[in-house]
Chains A and B, each alone.
Chain A
Amino acid sequence: MSSKPYAKLPSSYECGKFQSRLFEFLDGELNPVEEAKAQQHLAACAECRQEAALARRCDSALASASNSIASPGDLRAGFYLKLAETKRRNPVWQNWKVGIPAVLATGLLLLVASKFPVMSGRGNAPHTPAIASDIPHATSAKESHLNLSPIDDFIFQSESPLFIVKSDTDLKAVKEHSSSNSRRGSHRRLQVAKNELNIRSFRKSIHDLRASNLAVLLSKNEVKSIATNESLSEVARATDAPLRAPRLSLASFTPRAELHVSDDERDFMSASLQDTTQVSKNQGAILGIDERNEASDVQPAELPALP
């Protein structure tokens, strides 16, 4: 009898039952009684033994495969590029919090303009289409959407942070700055935007970029344009007028955010400004500073080392 232990097994414990509990058996999750029955069945049934061995083999193959996957390497560079690109592709008007009020306001404005044509300054001309530029308030709104500059932008990446630069001369400046900090070897340049920027989306992108710890170079005229809400051409016409200090201008277009600039950051800005003006007279500002809305005790974000 002892040579044929399977003869004692209850008839219910067949191959089907064993195989239905196979993985629990392999994982050691059966209770002692079931475990003993399974062991007995396994000793008697060659087919189930093979099934169990095969299942074990699959388990070990899966486990060893997971150990053998090569690391993908440092994926951060591509991540930060994608992040910047995503932000550029999702302008502020796609955000419902801004987009819906903007659409409602525009609709209301058009409605008012059509009901009260006198506001357009054209007297009683009810059939004249009221275009936005006829309305004083809308005129300023249109002005605020004037293109800042359709010139090429580049993201230049040393390691971190990223620099958004507005021209090749800026790129040269950042490269020099970067190489002076021994950050060669991982230079990557990406053409970001040839499309025209408007002030609103530009502000948003600047905000996002700063939140991403990016540094942005702007021309003095662009800074003034943003700060005063004037078009670039108007700013250019008034070039004789003395420009405010770039940093003050930068603070003025982030009215809801208090600007905290540490000494290091201030030094970095000053140094960058000096570097930039050596390359191009147009360059006026760098936005790499850390912006804080609330907590003033937060450590400032990391900035590239000073040259």
Chain B
Amino acid sequence: MNQEACATGWTTPRNGERTVTTDDDNALVARFLRGENSAFDTLFCRYQDYVYNILYGIIGSQEEARDLTQDVFVQVYRSLPKFRYGSRFATWLYRIAVNRGVDAARSSKRWRFLPIFDEPAFAQTPADSETEPESVFERRLETETVQKILQLCSLNHREALVLRYYQNLSLEEIAETLNCTAAAAKVRLFRARKAFKDQYVAQFGSDALCVAKEGK
């Protein structure tokens, strides 16, 4: 349908990478509301990885995150006529994704287990795997540990951490997504980082301090 537009949308968002301009998104939204479904296709391709990362960070399961990503876009598809351009499309989308992720995490809190060690959730860098297999292994182990620790944090903290580190949003953008003031977002992020650090120490025990020394 819109392969050309999609071709640029499949990379996983990287730290520091910004998406697209608000005007561009709004133009696509307007085109979709005029009946051009290909415009929605472009938005989908552009943002699916971002939405997936939010949901994966909150839920901790790849399969569930994939499923929820599709649900989020179904909701967006149906709700777009109500979009009033009061905020950026991306912020609006992230808010829906966060709410959906939190709802799902709450509903499955009692029975859900953490399958992160069973799934190859993290991509390996081919070059590293040949030259430095040990460091790659350590890195993968660490990223898996990060995901596990994230799941041990409260949902409030998880939201803030995912938006800050997985989405690389600014404090203002986090505040807008979480519908709070920038000051409140800052406090929440501070507490979240502290909670993550405490869980990190709890996870690694005395090794955490050694790792930290080496890391420094």
Q: Which of A65-73, A221-229, A273-281 contacts B (4 or more CB under 8 A)?
A: A65-73
Does A248 interact with chain B (Cβ within 8 Å)?
no
Partner of A82, one of B35, B57, B70: B70
B interface, over-half SS: helix
By the criterion CB–CB under 8 Å, are B15 and A160 in contact? no
Q: Mark B201-216, 1 if CB is under 8 A from A, else 0.
A: 1000000110111011
* B89 CB-CB contact with A under 8 Å: no
**Contact yes or no, A75 B15, CB < 8 A:** no
Please, what's the 1-or-0 string for B1-23, where 1 marks a CB less than 8 Å from any CB in chain A? Answer: 11000100011111100000000
Residues of A within 8 A of B87 (CB): none
- Decide: B193 and A55 in contact? CB cutoff 8 A: yes
Contact of A60 among B67, B123, B215 (CB under 8 A): B215
A56-96 residues at the B interface, CB under 8 angstroms:
56-76, 78-79, 82-83, 86
Is A292 among interface residues, defined by CB-CB distance under 8 A? yes
Q: Which parts of B102-153 form the interface with A (CB within 8 Å)?
A: 120-123, 139-140, 142-143, 145-147
CB-contact partner of B165 in A65, A295, A301, under 8 A: A65
User: Taking CB as reference atom, which chain A residue is nearest B11?
Assistant: A71
Q: How far is the CA of A291 from the CA of B36 in the complex (A)?
A: 11
Q: Across the two chains, which residue of chain B brings its CB closest to A293?
A: B35
Q: Which residues of chain A come closer than 8 Å to B11, judged between CB atoms? A: 71
Please, how many angstroms separate the alpha-carbon atoms of A68 and B126 in the complex? 12
Q: Are B215 and A71 in contact (CB under 8 A)?
A: no
Main secondary structure of the interface of A (DSSP, over half): helix
Known A-B contacts A59-B193, A70-B12; the reply to A50 vs B209 at CB < 8 A is: yes
On whether the beta carbons of A53 and B139 are closer than 8 Å, the reply is no
Q: Which residue of A58, A65, A301 is within 8 Å of B35 (Cβ)?
A: A301
Contact with B along A260-296 (1 / 0, CB 8 A): 0000000000000000000000000000001110010
A6 within 8 A of B: no
Q: Mark B176-189, 1 if CB is under 8 A from A, else 0.
A: 00000000000000
| B123 adjacent to A69 (CB under 8 Å) | yes
Cβ-defined contact, B121 with A69, below 8 A: yes
Do A70 and B200 touch (CB < 8 A)?
A: no
Of the candidates A67, A75, A299, A302, the one whose C-beta lies within 8 Å of that of B70 is A75
Q: A79 and B70: CB pair below 8 A?
A: yes
Closest Cβ of chain A: how far from B147's Cβ, in Å? Answer: 6
Question: What's the Cα separation between A73 and B121 when bound, in Å?
Answer: 13
Q: Establish whether residues B146 and A55, one from each chain, have CB atoms under 8 Å apart when the complex forms.
A: no
Interface size grouping (class) on chain A: 35 or more
Q: A54-B212, A82-B71, A301-B35 are in contact. Are A69 and B142 (CB under 8 A)?
A: no
When the two chains form the complex, which single residue of B67, B77, B122, B145 contacts A83, counting CB atoms closer than 8 Å? Answer: B77
Give Cα A74 to B41, complex, Å.
11
> Least Cβ distance of A169 to chain B in Å?
26
Q: Is the CB of A213 within 8 A of B37?
A: yes
Is B92 on the interface with A (CB-CB < 8 A)?
no
Is B212 a contact of A57 with CB atoms below 8 Å? yes
Interface membership of A143, Cβ < 8 A: no
Q: How many angstroms from the CA of A54 to the CA of B210 in the assembled complex?
A: 9
- Considering the complex, give the chain A residue whose CB is closest to the CB of B31: A298
Which residues of A are found within 8 Å of B94, using beta-carbon distances?
A: none
Q: A295 vs B168: C-alpha distance in the bound complex, in angstroms?
A: 39
- Hey, which chain A residues are within 8 Å of B37, CB to CB? 211-213, 301-302
The proximity string for A residues 38-57 relative to B, scoring 1 for CB distances below 8 Å and 0 otherwise, is 00000000000010011111
Q: Is the CB of B197 within 8 A of A58?
A: yes
B66 lies within 8 A of A67 (CB): no
Tell me which residues across on chain A come within 8 A of B146, comparing CB atoms: 61-62, 64-65
Top 4 nearest A-B pairs (CB, nearest first) are: A65-B146, A62-B165, A53-B216, A54-B212
Question: Which residues on B are within 8 Å of A, measured CB to CB?
Answer: 1-2, 6, 10-15, 34-38, 41, 44-45, 48-49, 52-53, 56-57, 62, 65-67, 69-71, 73-74, 77-78, 120-123, 139-140, 142-143, 145-147, 161, 165-166, 168, 190, 193-194, 196-197, 200-201, 208-209, 211-213, 215-216
* Besides A70-B12, A71-B52, A299-B36, 7 new A-B residue pairs in contact (Cβ under 8 A), listed by A number: A57-B211, A57-B215, A59-B165, A69-B53, A83-B74, A160-B41, A302-B37
